[in-house]
Amino acid sequence: MSNKSLSLDTLKAHLFDALEGVKNLSDPNASEEDKTSIEQAKVIADLSGKVIDIYKVQVDALKTLNQMDNVGSLRSMAIGLGVTSEENIK
């Protein structure tokens, strides 16, 4: 999967899938592929935290740049920082 297709919504979906997978550990009718081990869930949560940290840094950068004079539009800064893409802005 290309990282360009990832978004906070995608991350949220993965987290809820992992949560459902952990819940399925106690379901005797769930298939093995529908289960997420506790170890896998911990890794997913840890990596998700890192991704969220990246978004926080990008938002902080936008806030700082937005306070400066003549640095450009917030839209172009958001695209330049990778917070969003041209396709996501309508």
- What is the reported pLDDT for 28? 94
Look-up of token digits 């093995």: 32
Give the pLDDT score at 25. Answer: 95
Task: Quote the domain boundaries for residue 43.
Answer: 3-88
Confidence bin at 1 (pLDDT 50/70/90): very low
Position 4 confidence tier, pLDDT thresholds 50, 70, 90 = low
Q: Summarize the chain as % helix, strand, coil (round to 5).
A: 75, 0, 25
Residue pLDDT, tens place only, 38-86 = 999 999 999 999 988 988 988 888 888 777 766 567 777 777 777 777 7
Number of domains in the chain: 1
What's the CA gap between 51 and 8, in Å, rounded?
9
